[in-house]
Chains A and B, each alone.
Chain A
């Protein structure tokens, strides 16, 4: 993906024209919600699915960091009881049930990512992380099959990985991702990731936080076949969008394999819940428009559209 000359001016004009008024194109139903899942009873999950019955598009349900729960692979949940990987799958199934029950527009479908993260994994063994990634991929595949069997008109299932450089070494995140990616039949995986500390002016493979660099962010967010970049664009300054555009530019110029972005992740809803986030509370449209704008500043990274947009909140 060396050059992207087509229709770049349209993207620039669109992004420049939008301002705070919202993007050029998206109906409100396509502005999806994503959640940190701190409440996971069957009723909670069904209720949350019902609450999202007016939405259509890509979104993610985020669980905590990989751990062992009841002797098998699982996740932490910020003080709520840890869940096994199977319980995570069950929670998502209940979410789909609630969504299907309440959805009134038959044209709406959710493309749901089931997410974990690279937080607190530095002390985990590489082979344990690989096995956890495989367990996650197997669960996501099985839930996807269940949805395709019972609710194919309502939803589709993906994996999701919130990887953030400040949360672990790149190798640890790599091992989890390799496990997921290597699982036979695993669906695609949203890379709802950050680029902490990555360069804001250069595209030469420069350093990010915690031993990561632009290559590592590209490797995790794009090089794996299953990875679908869906970056966190939180900063109101636009610096996060700039960082990702430069990762893309680096990959395009130096690796000959630039990225394609499937959506943006913002945290405006979560910021409202926590009482504010200074400088990192982009609205869903600001996040989307900043990424489109920065991608359009260089023909080598231009992308006509970034289709998905989702905003994070706590389900707690």
Chain B
């Protein structure tokens, strides 16, 4: 879906050069910054307040930028980059596959997944990234309570918490927790289906 929308955006832009060629007039963002500066002053912040000065500098730089021609980006071939993206999509290969493996395979540092896996749930856990044969991924936190908590990173931006999986036994300290080539999780002698 994203790729289709990007294609539309590329077409609608009617020429990237058009966006790059002419200096813009005053922008909504400039008006917004000015409103923020005015709002801070009305709220009682002194003119010399660091945040007032910082936003005034931001605004001055935005305005000054409108009057000067940017240097051409020496490394930019964005059209080719996006065209390459489209080629990947057309070939049915995962987006970005030509650049790097999209997922780790193995132990990763535990961190919350906002809205899906809390700090309390990853505390003391062993976390593993488990790539799936279909190109998606499972982020699994195996807790000291013997429960595998899994977040699935799927295609098209789908991110979901899967059902928790109680292990037959909690992993012993230092016990190996690793993905299998089939996309399962091996915890010691146990093999756990992580969705």
Contacts and interface: CB of A to CB of B under 8 A. Distances in A.
A246 to B, nearest CB: 17
A307 B32 contact: yes
Interface residues of B, number: 86
Given A38-B153, A101-B16, A120 B112 contact: yes
A46 B44 contact: no
B27 A39 contact: no
B42 interface: yes
A119 interface: yes
A211 interface: no
Interface in B88-112: 88, 95-96, 98-104, 108-112
A103 B101 CA distance: 29
A316 B81 contact: no
B172 interface: no
B109 A67 contact: yes
A21 B71 CA distance: 43
B114 to A, nearest CB: 7
B76 interface: yes
Nearest to A67: B109
Contact of A150 (B40, B58, B70, B81): B70
A268 to B, nearest CB: 11
Interface string B109-123: 111111110111010
B189 interface: no
B123 to A, nearest CB: 9
27 contacts: A1-B44, A38-B153, A43-B84, A46-B85, A47-B2, A50-B10, A51-B5, A56-B27, A57-B32, A67-B109, A81-B103, A97-B81, A98-B78, A98-B81, A102-B10, A104-B12, A106-B25, A107-B28, A120-B112, A152-B70, A156-B58, A156-B62, A166-B119, A188-B51, A225-B54, A308-B32, A314-B159
Interface of B: 2-3, 5-6, 9-10, 12-14, 16, 18-20, 22-29, 32, 35-36, 39-40, 42-45, 50-51, 54-55, 58, 61-62, 65-66, 68, 70-73, 76, 78-79, 81-82, 84-85, 88, 95-96, 98-104, 108-116, 118-120, 122, 129, 137-139, 151, 153-154, 157-161
